[in-house]
Structure 1
Amino acid sequence: MNGRCSSSSRWTTYAFASVRADNQATHPARTKSRWLVALFAIAIALVACGHQTSTPVTGLARIRAAGVLRWGGDIQGGEPYVYDDPKHPGHLVGFEVDLAEALGRELGVRTEFVQNDWANLVPSLERGTFDVIMNGLEITDARAGRILFTRPYYVFAERLMARKSDRSIAPALPSLEGRKVGTLANSLAFDILRGHADTVVYEGVEEPYTDLQRGRVDAVLLDDIIATRYGVPKEDLHVVGDLRDGFYAIGVRQNEPDVKEAVDAALERIAARGELHRILEKSQLWNDRQTRLEHWSSEGSAKLTNPAPAPATFGVGHALLFLKGASITLFVSVLAMAIAIPLGLALSIARLFGGAAARRLAGAYVEIYRGTPVLLQLYFLYYGLAPVLRLGALPAAILGLGMNYAAYEAEVYRAGFAAVPKAQMEAALSLGMSTPLALRRIVLPQAFRHAIPNVTNDFIALLKDSSLVSVITVVELTKQMSITAIDVRSWVVPGLACAALYFAMSYPLGVLARRLERKLEGEHEMAAEIEAGPAARAAA
């Protein structure tokens, strides 16, 4: 028996001895508590011994014991990777779905797809959300320092596209200096463009080419698979050229080399019997570059990356980028609130004092904006209305958040108006004031005073909701944090720095809101004493 088990056994023996002693001493209450201690000691002993003697389970053994290989990807990447079958919604198809099923057959398990944001596939793999990554994951030096890569299953080219009317862009990085170039965040193309272009990052693959058509970016650099399906069909765009080749491979956790070896062997068998060829041919992906995959060697995989680089450390340069992101967050939030306050006030006045049509329109605005996600509203404003309303990313972010928060501000002001006694309005009208004049001089100042604390709280919420504007290519504080986290291979320090900056921006507003609330409560108490004064004197 090992030391931990023997120690636990001694405590168990002692506990039972105490129980027997208490039984002999006939103390029922003490005996009951001793029995509980004894049972607790047994539980500890079992856990300690079981933990000590259990054999570590390898990754491959775990997968086979579960009978399922869970692979992570992002359906937003679309066709031809992993996507919903248009004829059978809810059923996934794509060349990676076919490849996953082939792998499952080779390993003797079934396969299960796990949806995950593409930019965060690597950290999700590291935390154990799924077993492997297979979703157009490019082999890069930075990723090779964090996870294991299997042999490649596809060779792609980084393809540059531009508008046909712009012939000044050449298939070379120097021609992109000072240009806005769209790509996916944390991709190989993103790494290539660093230091050579003003990179605009996107969440999806359709949006970059839409923005290229609309003139929001000057070029797009993405994998040839993506360019062929989403860029080439747009008649006003053309292929400038390919900058370099890249490789898709399956990502595996660093501490599970047995999984990598098993998947490598399975991929080799799939390629050797021509099944990989058939899978790629089915999705019209087979070309001359893919012949390199049929006779791949471990030496070939070793040449795909340089020696794993040391992770970057969070330093002054990253801190400056965070401050820049925080300034964009604050800029967007302040201007959005500057739209929300007057628009919300107008909506509340229309609902309370307007005609029937104005009340219905204002009510519909409030309910629609409160009843739909702000993320959807931003997408609709920036992409959906692009053919008729060509807004830049920052104006769209400010307008979208401002219009959304106006609906909430309208309810805040409506509550403020309700807190003003109706007699105030009636008295003003009886003195000959018009309704607009009475509102402006009598009711509105009092209602606004009641609403100010809630307006301040809404501004704090708006600061945090501004992180959503990254979906329309605005690199604010949260987006900068996610980019930096990939660079330094850690979410802890960037996450803490991001949280500290949000706190630094929101805490003073919270203090201000509490002071305003205390001041308002004091004014209420003073007014109540003044009103009660004559009555108290009369009673005396």
Structure 2
Amino acid sequence: MKKTKIGSLLATLLVFFMMAWGGHATASADDNSLQKIKDAGVLKVATSPDYPPFEFRATIDGQSEDVGMDIEVAKQIAKDLGVKLKIMNMDFGSTLVAVQTGKVDMAITGVNPTEERRKSVDFSNIYYNGGQSFLIQKKDAKKYKNAKDLHGAKIGTQTGSLQQTLSKKYFKDSTLSSMEKTPNLVFALKSGKLDAVGVEKPVAAAYVENNKDLVAIDAGYKLDKNETGAAVAFAKGSDSLAAAVNKSIDKITKNDWTSDYLKKSAKYMKDNTKDTSMTRYWKYFYNGFLNTTLIAVIAVIFGIILGILLVLMKLSAWKLLSWPATAYIEIVRGTPMMVQVLLIYFGVGTIVNLPALLSGIIAVALNSAAYVAEIIRGGINSLDDGQKEAAQSLGLSKVDTMRFVILPQAFKNIWPSLGNEFISVVKESSIVSIIGVTDLIYELNVVRADTYRAVAPIVVVMVIYFIMTFTLTRALNYFERKMNHD
């Protein structure tokens, strides 16, 4: 179904980290997975609401809610267990990691129980098997009457997905390409960059229903239903929970409730596409703007405070202080922020269960601090040694010299560089969307999935980011002029 390659790689790295740290990568021998949920009275389920009709967002009575077939399955499981359901949204590549590290009880997000994934997590019985299709342009329907006609064509699939694996196996003579998001693939198809896009049948049906210029053809794959259907993922050794969930799935499949769930999803999708104007989704963008601003402001404040501390430690004559500071700065600057965000959320989360938003703020602040420290160090080193000597001749201590003479002048010199770091934090904080923080990028993907519009949501978010950074730039320039005047 859908799983990105980078998500799989990061999941593997984090699991090794958890195992080395002694975290929750595997369940204990004494399985209490079901009892823990009943004692808590809450079933925590990870999902990625950008994949209709499996899971997506819809506006119901003025409120944005998670809907879709997988959400209905989760509701039924929670009902049978007699507990409340708590949906935890995050990027798809993080859902299985959330299961492995104990952040959630299970993941229900259209995931296939392949042998590779069974090495990391346990799966329930299959609750849905819809088959595979190709989306093509309606004008090409005569050219591509069936999947055999696609040999030699340009085929796109989601990165790391089952469709990508199947296309490599069955269409070796075709030009294959992949992208992270299905909406991007569909846009590439409609713009003529691709001839076909491999997706699941329900997904294909949803796109055809909402795009008059698209049609679907059967993929014709010969598949093992035990690996290609949708199943619920649990942490390794969660036998009691898996047994309870399988009872719910048996009930769902026996009564063919998935058909009803898909019909209900179709209704929500139809409601979503009645009005796909961006003004209808202003609350999504507004909430994303608020969270993006909150993360940036708090991260910058704490980043500066920690950055000053780090640079003082690095400049210290005591190696016990300078070495840790240098090591921290080099490690943070030498690793991607994506890995740092995942490490804070899932790694530290094995000790302290941090919410996604708080984890995102901490990760961005810690990352920014390393860069701020180097900017401040450059400003301090740019000052003439005479400044320090003059302060000492006046009887100022080293602390007072740094506080009243060196740092004020250094900040005046580095203000433009510091301003660039502020702006970078605003833009780079978008990476927190991978753990389910509803920032602008997260809301962008939700709106694209709901409206089937590829470009309009991107333009809106670009405008919002531009307004934010332009305003910040003007404010920083104002204070720079004030400092220069003083």
TM, length-normalised to structure 1: 0.53
- Between the aligned partners of 1:203 and 1:460, the Cα distance in structure 2 is 24
Give yes or no for the alignment of 1:183 onto 2:47: yes
What corresponds to 1:425 in structure 2?
A: 388
Aligned partners of 2:335, 2:90: CA distance in 1, in Å?
23
**1:189 and 1:221 in contact (8 A); partners too:** no
Q: How many angstroms does 1:220 deviate by?
A: 2.8
**Residues 163 and 480 of structure 1, relative CA distance in 2, 3 Å threshold:** farther
Of 279, 303, 312, the residue aligned with 1:340 is: 303
Is 1:257 paired with 2:141?
yes
Counterpart residue identity of residue 136, structure 2:
V
Note the C-alpha offset of 1:352: 2.5
SS in 2 for 1:164: helix
Indicate whether 1:194 and 2:82 are aligned. Answer: no
Match for 1:445 among 382, 401, 408? 408
Inter-partner Cα distance in structure 2 for 1:198 and 1:282? 28
Query: Unaligned regions of 5+ residues in structure 2, if any?
Result: 13-31, 58-65, 72-84, 152-169, 171-219, 232-262
Q: Which residue of 2 aligns with 1:222?
A: 109
CA distance in 2 between counterparts of 1:285 and 1:322 reads 34
Deviation at 1:408, TM superposition (A): 0.9
Give the 3 Å change call, closer, same or farther, for CA 325–264 of structure 1 in structure 2. Answer: same
Does the Cα contact within 8 Å between 1:345 and 1:410 map onto a contact in 2? Answer: yes
Residue 166 of structure 1 and its aligned partner are, at CA, apart by 5.1
Q: Distance in 1 between matches of 2:411 and 2:5?
A: 47
**1:280·1:286 contact (CA, 8 Å) conserved in 2?**
no
Cα distance in 1, alignment partners of residues 130 and 264 from structure 2: 9
Q: In structure 1, what residue type is equivalent to 2:135?
A: G
Of 470-479 and 346-355, deviating more is: 346-355
Per-residue deviation at 1:386?
Answer: 3.7
Matched, 1:165 2:35: yes
Judged with a 3 Å threshold, the aligned counterparts in structure 2 of structure 1 residues 317 and 226 are, in CA distance, closer, same or farther, namely farther
Matched, 1:352 2:315: yes
Partner of 1:134: none
Q: Does structure 1 conserve the Cα–Cα contact (< 8 Å) formed by 2:90 and 2:437?
A: no
Cα deviation digits, residues 11-64 of structure 1 (max 9, x gap): xxxxxxxxxxxxxxxxxxxxxxxxxxxxxxxxxxxxxxxxxxxxxxxxxxxxxx
Q: 2:113, 2:228 within 8 Å by CA — same for their partners in 1?
A: no
- Name the count of aligned residue pairs: 338
Q: How far, CA to CA, are the matches of 1:510 and 1:204 in structure 2?
A: 34
Take 2:137 and 2:281, find their aligned partners in 1: how far apart are those partners? 27
- Amino acid paired to 1:280: D
- Quick one: distance in 2 between partners of 1:392 and 1:365? 24
* 8 A Cα contact 1:424 1:443, kept in partner: yes
Say which one has the larger Rg: 1
Partner of 1:250, secondary structure, is strand
> Mind listing any 5+ residue stretches in structure 1 that lack a counterpart?
1-71, 84-161, 170-174, 288-302, 524-540
One-letter amino acid matched to 1:222: T
Whether the 8 Å contact between 1:202 and 1:208 is mirrored in structure 2 is yes
Deviation of 1:317 after TM superposition, in Å, equals: 4.0
Q: Could you list the per-position Cα deviations for residues 178-198 of structure 1 after superposition, in whole angstroms to 9, with x for gaps in the alignment?
A: x75322342233149429776
Q: Pick one of 367, 370, 373 that aligns with 2:336.
A: 373
Q: Quick one: structure 1 residues 259 and 200, their matched pair in 2 at CA, closer, same or farther if it must change by over 3 Å?
A: farther
Deviation at 1:359, TM superposition (A): 2.5
Rounded Cα–Cα distance in structure 2 between residues aligned with 1:218 and 1:318: 31
Structure 1 residue 76: deviation in Å?
5.3
**1:209–1:231: 8 Å Cα contact kept in structure 2?**
no
Residue 518 of structure 1: aligned partner: 481
TM-score by length of 2: 0.59
CA contact (8 A) 1:470 1:476 kept: yes
User: Which structure carries more relative contact order (alpha carbon 8 Å, separation 6+)?
Assistant: 2
Give the root-mean-square deviation of aligned CA atoms. 4.2
1:445/1:331 CA distance change after superposition, 3 Å: same
- In the alignment, the residues of structure 2 paired with residue 181 and residue 327 of structure 1 have an alpha-carbon distance, to the nearest angstrom, of 25
Question: 1:389-408 counterparts in 2 under 5 A?
Answer: 389-408=352-371
After superposition, the Cα gap between the structure-2 partners of 1:251 and 1:395, relative to the gap in structure 1 and judged at 3 Å, is same
Answer with 429-438 or 352-361: which moved more. 352-361
Question: Quick one: which amino acid aligns to residue 339 of structure 1?
Answer: F
Query: Counterparts of 1:224 and 1:329 in 2: how far apart (Å)?
Result: 29
Which aligned pairs between 1:80-479 and structure 2 lie closer than 5 A? 163-165=33-35, 181-187=45-51, 188-191=53-56, 193-194=66-67, 199-204=87-92, 207-212=94-99, 216-217=103-104, 219-223=106-110, 225-226=112-113, 230=117, 239=124, 246-258=130-142, 260-263=144-147, 279-280=223-224, 309=270, 310=273, 312-479=275-442
Q: CA deviation at 1:167?
A: 5.6
CA contact (8 A) 2:144 2:150 kept: no
The answer to whether the Cα contact below 8 Å between 1:76 and 1:204 also exists between their aligned partners in 2 is no
Asked if the contact 2:114–2:227 (Cα under 8 Å) also holds between the matched residues in 1, the reply is no
Output the CA distance in 1 between the equivalents of 2:7 and 2:393: 65
